[in-house]
Amino acid sequence: MNSTLKLIETNGQYLIDSRDVAEYIDKRHDHLLRDIKKYIDVISTNPNLGALDFFVPSTYQDNKGQVRPHYLLTKKGCEMVANKMTGEKGVLFTAEYVTRFNEMDHHLQTDYSQLSPQLQHMIRLEQKQNEQDKRLGKLEDNLSIDSFQQNVIQKQIKKRVYEIRDRYDDSPEGTRRLFSSIYRNFRDAFAVPSYRDLRKLDFEDAKAWIKTWRPLI
């Protein structure tokens, strides 16, 4: 078990990598991803809840250069994982992530009491504007890709399948299986029901993923 968890800043939000969580709680990362996907499926059934408030899908490159999926957990996401754990591991994980987030909250708090009222007011206005900018940026990043980007994804998927089909099965049926496999793997990798639902934020990662995709055999 790791001694500490590290926070990652993304778009003004502090998150914890699912790989670090898995290592900390001595759990296989693929098993943690499987659990998180189940949590997301349940959360998505409630229109008043947003899965991104708990788990932010992302990707990384492994030691072989392969693009792999992972999640970035918010404090709420950590709470959900911790609530499913029992015994000493659950207690230690809860204590650790709460400590990390509380330390960051304390670090971000600044004492402006010694400043003039005018400066305090200006700082509050600046903070408010920054928060609005962050919310707008986050909203834009989480919008689905547009029709042009959808077309790019389609073309790159088609190109990738035709690049590698000779190594597997270049028959019409084999080609159909490759297309079915890459679209299925794409949905799993980016946690979307369709490539059309890919977030703009993940567009470049998706193109990189497609270029290195290979079917699991």
Q: What is the pTM of this model?
A: 0.49
Is residue 11's pLDDT more than 70?
A: yes
Residue 40 Cα distances to 35, 36, 98, 101, 191, angstroms: 9, 6, 22, 22, 9
Residues 146, 197: contact at Cβ < 8 Å?
no
What pLDDT does residue 155 have? Answer: 95
Q: Over range 57-80, report the average pLDDT.
A: 91
Domain locations in the chain?
Answer: 8-106, 147-212
Percentage of the chain beyond pLDDT 70 is 82
Q: Which of 1-5, 42-46, 61-65 has the lowest mean pLDDT?
A: 1-5
Q: What is the mean pLDDT of the chain?
A: 84
What is the tens place of the pLDDT at every residue in 167-215?
A: 888 899 999 999 999 999 999 999 999 999 998 888 999 999 999 999 8
Of residues 74, 84, 66, 65, the one with CA closest to residue 18: 74
Helices (H), the chain: 18-24, 29-43, 75-83, 87-108, 117-141, 147-168, 172-190, 203-212
Q: Which of 61-70, 71-80, 118-127 has the lowest mean pLDDT?
A: 118-127
